[in-house]
Every structure is written in C-alpha cells, then in structure tokens.
Amino acid sequence: MSYDYDLFVIGAGSGGVRASRIASSYGAKVAVAEEYRIGGTCVIRGCVPKKLLVYASGFSKDFKLAEGYGWTVGETSFSWETLIERKDAEIDRLNGLYINTLSNAGVEMIEGRALVTGPNSVRVGDQEYSAKYILIAVGGWPMMPDLPGIEHAVSSNEALHFEKQPDHIVIVGGGYIAVEFAGIFNGMGSQVTQLYRGEQILRGFDTDLQHSLATEMKARGIDLRTSLNVTKIDKTEKGVILHLTDGTTLEADAVMYATGRAPKTDGLGLQDAGVALDKAQAVIVDEYGKTSVDSIYAVGDVTNRVQLTPVAIKEGHAFANTVFGNMPSSPEHDAIPSAIFSQPPIGTVGLTEAQAFEKYNGKIKVFKSGFKPMKHTLGGSEERALTKLIVAEETDVVVGAHMIGLDAAEIMQGIGIAVKAGLTKAQFDATVAIHPSSAEEFVLMR
Ligand code: NDP
C-alpha cells in the first residue's frame, strides 16, 4: 500500500512539531497541518507570551525594592500598548523560527483545519491526503461554564491582546492561569479581583503552597475572594457587571475566565474514524500514544493527561522514536516538575504532603523552612518564601519538594532531577549548600 505521507500530523504545537521533526530525521515523509500559527498554544498564546508579561509586571515591585538599596527610581509609567506590540513582535520571531525548523527538517506544512476521514486519510479544505500514520496533536482550548452572558467574558487568549489595559479586571478560577494572570495585571497596576468557587486556590497543590500564595497575593493588593462564583454577566458601556452567588454584584472593565482547558477534538472526525474518546472528549491512548485505531496516535493536551508543554514534547519525541526510530519509548508521567509563574512563583515536584501521607500510610517525614529572602531585607518587602520536603520514612527517599518564593521555578528544575532520581534525604543533607541563596534551604532542612 502506498501513501502520500508516512506521517500526517494534525496540529503544529509543541508535541506535533517535535514529533514531525524527529520522525523526519528517521527518514519519514512528514506533513503537518495547522489551522492557525505554527508554534501552538505555548508559543503563540500560552507559556511564552505569558512569561513575557510576568517579567513586565514584576518591575513595579523591583522599583520599590531598588529604593531600599539606595536607588532613586523617580517617576515610572507603564505602557500596555508598547508591551503588547513588543511581545507580539517576539512571538512573530519565534513563529518564524518554528517554521524554519520544520522546513529545515523537510516537513511539509499545510495550512488549514484538518479532518480525519479514515484510519489513513485526512482532508484539509478540498484536498484529501493519505498517510500510513496520523498523529493527533491539536491541543486544548479554554473552557468556560455555560451561564447567561458568558459571551461577554474573555479567556487568556484575548487577555494577551486587550487593546487597552483594564483598570479593573475580574479573574474567575483558582488554577495556574488564574493566579498567573492575577499577578500580571496586579503588577501592572490594574485593580484585580479574583473569584474562586472553592475554599482555597490551587486545588491539588500542597496546602502550604496554597495558603502561602493566597496570603502573598492578598498582600500585594489582589482582592482574592473564595467560595464565590458568577451566576450571570451583563454587558455595560464600560465593561461588565457580574452577578455573584452571594447575591452581590461586581462591576469591572473585563472578566477573564481561567476555568480549565478542554481537548480540542470537536469536529475533527475522530469518532467517525473509530478513535475512542473519553467523557472529557480527550483521545484515549496507550502508553505509546496509540489510540483505539492502530494507525492513529495522539500526544499532548488532546490526551488530557498532563497539560504541560514539556510533557507534550516528550510524548511527541517518544512517539517518533517508537513508530519511526525502532525504539519503543513510553514517556514517564511521574515526578514531573512544574512551576506556576505567580508572584511570588511556585515550583513543585512529586507528591504533596497529603498524597504522600495517603500513599505511605502516614509514615512520612515533613521538613519545612519559612524565611524572608535576602533580597527583601534591604528592599523592605514583607514577602516570605517557603521550602518543603516530603520524605518516605522507611526508605528516606525524598518523594516531594515544594517551594514558593523568589526564583522557585528556576530552583525546582535542579531539585526535580534529585527527586526523579529517587535520592534520599541523607543525600540531600550530604550536599554542600550554596550560600547565600534560597535554594540552599533544600539541603539544610533538619
Ligand atoms: P486549572 O485546571 O489549573 O484550573 C481551573 C480552575 O477553574 C480551577 O480553580 C477550577 O476550580 C476552576 N473552575 C473549573 N470550572 C469552573 C466553573 N464552572 N466555575 C468556576 N470555576 C471553575 O486550569 P487553567 O485554565 O488554569 O490551566 C489549564 C492547564 O494549563 C493547567 O492545568 C496547566 O496544566 C496548564 N498550564 C500550565 C502552566 C504552567 O506550567 N506554568 C501555566 C498555565 C497553564 P476547582 O479547583 O474547584 O476545580
């Protein structure tokens, strides 16, 4: 049987680009279809633009800290329009790099929305293509609850392109995106109200991190309100009026929903082609990324396992190794370090205290250190940091590490190696500290 391509990838985001490039390096003839821009969520409307905005918003605090160190900062002002223009130029540059990467790797790029028409066929526009393998890497899309007036809300996609900085923004949700954007708009001087339906933000994270971040966000002036939700949104001339579950209303220039992301499988033709989806419409895959159809695989957010770019990249690479490199590889999903670029940031890897307590029947040791980062001493900030290690008592293995505070994201990458490697607390203790640093707490907690 001959096909137009060995591999047809749908979606040129983190997972799809990596899979295309590696498959091509093994000699496969590869095409990738993308309906919007090469680079996907992370590059175009996620991690990268978000992090640039996080950097931008951090200066307001840095200006204050600088004064404690003898600097006269003078009058400062911030232009949202300039930032967005510069951010967009950087995204254009990265988009160009991604296009070059694919083209240098010999991958054919096809613009348009692809429809799976069978186990070995895909249609883009009027054109039908055949392929020995199809890889679904279409990612996810912001999900919003169904309530009256929800069409007046925006997601992080649009918030990255507001024409004007909102004077007052309401952010709904208590996960990664909600806390990151609350920090961004707060740092830029907008009034921020964050509404979370549960009792404490960051469900699933270690409780010490949850409480510390909530405290620090409030200290920075974010009006964080918990056990509260929106029932209805009215559009006004200036923005929106939100009707809340406690019977009150809230007026703002904009409301942004960060209430999770769903697999973007709608209208892809997957079920007609025999690909099984779960209740959340995610593609069901085995440990190699294979779906219920032997010739169709899936990687990344569309499989709704771990919604993180580096995980999608690993899955895409493993898929190419398995199918085209003669090296069956199944990406591991344990001890994945991750960061929240909240302000202050969070870094975490492995089990929370509660998860470890359950897994080891209470036989755990917990080490914690709360401190004021040295930078804040002269800077005059009251912001505190916290480091925490969870150790399995019987083996002395460090099964979880958590941090909130300056540089937590950078620090956790190294700690992540140690936790992934299964090192013991004694080995952490035997490591010499880097002094003075915040990171040293991880080898000094007794
Ligand atoms: P999350 O799943 O992290 O958080 C969703 C939040 O919305 C939760 O607080 C949830 O509450 C709340 N929520 C869900 N449904 C409703 C509803 N109907 N009404 C009110 N609140 C609701 O999703 P995000 O959108 O923040 O991010 C999506 C994913 O993207 C993350 O899971 C993460 O994997 C990834 N991401 C990673 C980043 C990083 O690595 N730094 C940055 C940004 C995103 P509840 O807790 O009660 O369910």
Q: pLDDT tens-digit profile of 302-353?
A: 999 999 999 999 999 999 999 999 999 999 999 999 999 999 999 999 999 9
Determine if ligand 1 sits within 6 Å of the CB of residue 80. no
Q: What does the block give as tokens for 191? A: 């009034």
Residues 163 and 71: their CA atoms lie apart, in Å, by: 33
Tell me the three state secondary structure of residue 32.
strand
- Please identify, by atom number, the ligand 1 atom nearest to the C-alpha of residue 178: 26
53-83, pLDDT tens digit by residue? 999 999 999 999 999 999 999 999 999 999 9
Residues 247 and 421: their CA atoms lie apart, in Å, by: 51
Residues 389 and 366: their CA atoms lie apart, in Å, by: 6
Predicted local confidence at residue 349, as pLDDT = 98
Amino acid at residue number 343:
Q
Amino acid at residue number 112:
G
Predicted local confidence at residue 1, as pLDDT = 82
Sequence-distant (≥ 6) Cβ neighbours of residue 301 within 8 angstroms = 15, 41, 139, 140, 261, 263, 264, 307, 312
Residues 165 and 78: their CA atoms lie apart, in Å, by: 10
Residues 438 and 385: their CA atoms lie apart, in Å, by: 8
396-418, pLDDT tens digit by residue? 999 999 999 999 999 999 999 99
Handedness of CA 402, 408, 412, 415 (dihedral sign): negative
- Angle between helices 176-187 and 47-68 in degrees, nearest 10: 40
36 annotated to a ligand binding site = no
Contact status, residue 91 vs residue 161, Cβ threshold 8 Å:
no
pLDDT, average across residues 154-166:
98
Nearest to 409 by CA among 176, 85, 189: 176
Q: DSSP letters of 128-172?
A: EEEEEEEEE---EEE-----TTGGG-B-HHHHTT-SS--SEEEEE
Sequence-distant (≥ 6) Cβ neighbours of residue 151 within 8 angstroms = none
Helices (H) and strands (E) in the chain, counts: 13, 21
Residues 78 and 61: their CA atoms lie apart, in Å, by: 13
51 annotated to a ligand binding site = yes
| Nearest Cα residue to atom 35 of ligand 1 | 307
pLDDT, average across residues 128-155:
98
Q: What does the block give as tokens for 432? A: 């010499």
Determine if ligand 1 sits within 6 Å of the CB of residue 173. yes
| Nearest Cα residue to atom 41 of ligand 1 | 340
Handedness of CA 348, 305, 210, 141 (dihedral sign): positive
- Beta-strand ranges (E) seen in 269-351 are 296-298, 338-340, 346-350
Q: Which of 230, 243, 261, 338 to mutate to test the pocket of ligand 1 (most atoms within 8 A of CB)?
A: 261
Nearest to 405 by CA among 354, 371, 360: 371
Determine if ligand 1 sits within 6 Å of the CB of residue 280. no
Residues 249 and 287: their CA atoms lie apart, in Å, by: 48
- Angle between helices 176-187 and 207-219 in degrees, nearest 10: 20
Strand partners, 251: 241
* pLDDT band at residue 265 using 50, 70 and 90 as cut-offs: very high
Determine if ligand 1 sits within 6 Å of the CB of residue 258. yes
Residues 6 and 114: their CA atoms lie apart, in Å, by: 16
Q: DSSP letters of 223-269?
A: EEE-S--EEEEEE-SSSEEEEETTS-EEEESEEEE---EEE--TTS-
Contact status, residue 18 vs residue 41, Cβ threshold 8 Å:
no
| Nearest Cα residue to atom 34 of ligand 1 | 307
Residues 1 and 146: their CA atoms lie apart, in Å, by: 47
CA distances from 367 to 172, 263, 391, 419 (A): 33, 38, 8, 15
- Angle between helices 14-25 and 80-104 in degrees, nearest 10: 20
Determine if ligand 1 sits within 6 Å of the CB of residue 337. no
Q: What does the block give as tokens for 205? A: 């994270």
Predicted local confidence at residue 170, as pLDDT = 98
Q: Which of 228, 259, 349 to mutate to test the pocket of ligand 1 (most atoms within 8 A of CB)?
A: 259
Catalytic annotation, residues: 435
Give percent of the chain with pLDDT exceeding 90.
100
pTM over 0.75: yes
Residue 434, Cβ density class (10 Å: 0-12 exposed, 13-18 middle, ≥19 buried): exposed
- Please identify, by atom number, the ligand 1 atom nearest to the C-alpha of residue 145: 18
174 annotated to a ligand binding site = yes
Residue 70, Cβ density class (10 Å: 0-12 exposed, 13-18 middle, ≥19 buried): exposed
Q: 267: which DSSP letter?
A: T
Determine if ligand 1 sits within 6 Å of the CB of residue 130. no
- Angle between helices 309-324 and 14-25 in degrees, nearest 10: 30
Predicted local confidence at residue 160, as pLDDT = 98
Contact status, residue 346 vs residue 339, Cβ threshold 8 Å:
yes
Q: Please state, as a whole number, how many other Cβ atoms lie within 10 Å of the Cβ of residue 84.
A: 20
State the average pLDDT for the chain: 97
pLDDT, average across residues 157-169:
98
Contact status, residue 258 vs residue 178, Cβ threshold 8 Å:
yes
Q: Please state, as a whole number, how many other Cβ atoms lie within 10 Å of the Cβ of residue 433.
A: 12
pLDDT, average across residues 192-198:
98
253 annotated to a ligand binding site = no
Q: DSSP letters of 34-80?
A: ESS-TTHIIIIISHHHHHHHHHHHHHHHHHHHHHHTT---------H
